[in-house]
Structures are given as C-alpha cells and as structure tokens.
Amino acid sequence: MTTVSSAPHPAPEAEEVYRRWLEFLDDEFVRHSSPERRAEIVRDQLYQLYLGRPHEGKLNLTLTSELPGNILGLSLDPANVTLEAEYFADADRERYNERKPLLWFWQMFDRSPIGLNLWLGIRFRCMLGRHIFAHMGTGVKIYHGIDLTFGYNLSIGDGATIRQGALLDDRGGITIGKGAVIGSFARVYSQTHDPDNFDHVTLVPTVIGAGARIGSHAIVLAGQTVAPGEAVGSFPADRI
C-alpha cells in the first residue's frame, strides 16, 4: 500500500506564530498606505529580524566606533535608502513611493536568514504582493530572490509560479497568466533601450499567457506575447 506524504510544514507552534505575523503585517499595510507610516512599520520589523531588538529611537551618531552599527540601523529604514527604480523618469512617483517601503521589505526579507524558510517565504511574498502588484491571484507561488522594478505594473494570475532568482522588469507592464510558470533566473522585460542612446527607453507591455512556461535562464523581451500553453526556452526532460 502506497502512503501519500503530506506537504512539508513547520511545527504547529511555529506555523501559528508565522500566520499571526503575516496577518498582523497584512492588516497594517491595509490600514496604512502612506509611505511614511509604511516605512516606519518596515523599519521596526527589520530591526527585529536583523538586530533581534525593537527600534529604540535616536542613534548615538557622535561616536566613530558606533558608525558601522549606525549605518546598519539607518539602512533598515526605507526612508534612508534609495532604489534604482527611483531614478527612472517614467516612474509614477505617487504609486512608487507608496510601494517603496514594501519593495525594500521584500528585498531585505529575502536577504535575511529567514528568507530561505520556504513555507514562510512563499506566504510572505504573496502577502506583500497583494499590496504591491496591480493584481495578485490566489494560489500563487513566488520563490526566493525575485527582482522587481516598480511592482505596480505587474499582474499575476491564479496559480502562477515564479521560481527563484527571476527578474520581472515591469516598467512597461507585465501580465502573467493563470497557471503560468516562470523558471529560475528567467528574465522578463517590458522596456527596451535605443542602441544609439541608452537613456532613450521605450515601454512596451509583455504578456505571458495562461499555462505558458518560461524555462530557466530564458529571456522574454519587451512587447512579446507568449501564447497560452506555449513554452519558451529549454526544458531538459520536460522540466523547469
């Protein structure tokens, strides 16, 4: 008789704590949409994740010996960091500023020790995605190390899977259809550069159809429409 094993889970006590944390964060980001308040929430959470203690207010900025610690502490606050997308002229400042603290939280969570906790990480990114993306479907799986640009031009359908290390450059808009799979370290673009003038950018929406598969390390250029069920890239033994 064959025994069907259940999917791996954390211990019940840990799972309860994880779910409470995600529910708390989700509620906070629903209630607070201002960039300033979101930055404070993210700062306080990252202090605990990285330093193991609450944020305690002002740092002692006068002692040279404490400068490295001050730099770390200050950089955990999204208000004190700059991200590449902020320099793009085509950024919608209002929409981007509202999401910037959450994008920083996304990146710093993945770079923390708990970012490799698969069960928690998938649920954390999906929770944040609901506050970042234009649309976030149900049953989506987003793995470690995904690189986003604006976030607000990204739409992900139900049951889509995005494997580790993928780049989703959504400057011109990316739509990922229901049940589509983006393979590990794939690159999906929605903007192109003039070969004679790298500063001249053309934004073109890119569409990944329902059930389409983008192979590991494959590249989807701006403006492409990958048909439903179509495969792009190499699939050794028909696997991503």
Tokens of 157: 């359908």
Question: Contact at 8 Å (CB) between 190 and 158?
Answer: no
Q: At which residue do the structure tokens 């048909």 appear?
A: 227
Parallel, antiparallel, or unpaired for β 197-203 and 191-194? antiparallel
Distance of alpha carbon 196 from alpha carbon 182, whole angstroms? 31
State the DSSP H helix or E strand holding residue 162, giving kind and residue range, or none if neither.
strand 161-162
Distance of alpha carbon 136 from alpha carbon 130, whole angstroms? 5
Distance of alpha carbon 214 from alpha carbon 77, whole angstroms? 35
Tokens of 41: 């929430």
Give the pLDDT score at 235.
Answer: 75
Give the pLDDT score at 160.
Answer: 98
pTM for this structure? 0.90
Give the pLDDT score at 240.
Answer: 46
Give the pLDDT score at 69.
Answer: 82
Tokens of 16: 């309860």
Distance of alpha carbon 114 from alpha carbon 123, whole angstroms? 12
Half-sphere CA count of 171, side-chain side, radius 13 A: 20
Q: Measured between alpha carbons, how far is residue 7 from residues 4, 86, 120, 210 in Å?
A: 10, 40, 13, 25
Question: Contact at 8 Å (CB) between 144 and 163?
Answer: no
- Give me the helices (H) in 32-168, please: 35-46, 67-75, 93-111, 118-132
Distance of alpha carbon 9 from alpha carbon 93, whole angstroms? 40
State the DSSP H helix or E strand holding residue 156, giving kind and residue range, or none if neither.
strand 154-156
Domains and CATH numbers, the chain: 13-132 (no CATH), 135-240 (2.160.10.10)
Give the pLDDT score at 234.
Answer: 82
Distance of alpha carbon 207 from alpha carbon 240, whole angstroms? 19
DSSP classification of residue 90:
T
SS3 content of the chain, % helix, strand, coil (to 5): 40, 20, 40
Tens digit of each residue's pLDDT, the chain (240 residues): 455 557 888 999 999 999 999 999 999 999 999 999 999 999 999 999 999 888 877 766 676 767 888 888 899 999 999 999 999 999 999 999 999 999 999 999 999 999 999 999 999 999 999 999 999 999 999 999 999 999 999 999 999 999 999 999 999 999 999 999 999 999 999 999 877 776 788 999 999 999 999 999 999 999 999 999 999 998 766 554
**Is residue 160 helix, strand or coil?**
coil
Give the pLDDT score at 201.
Answer: 85
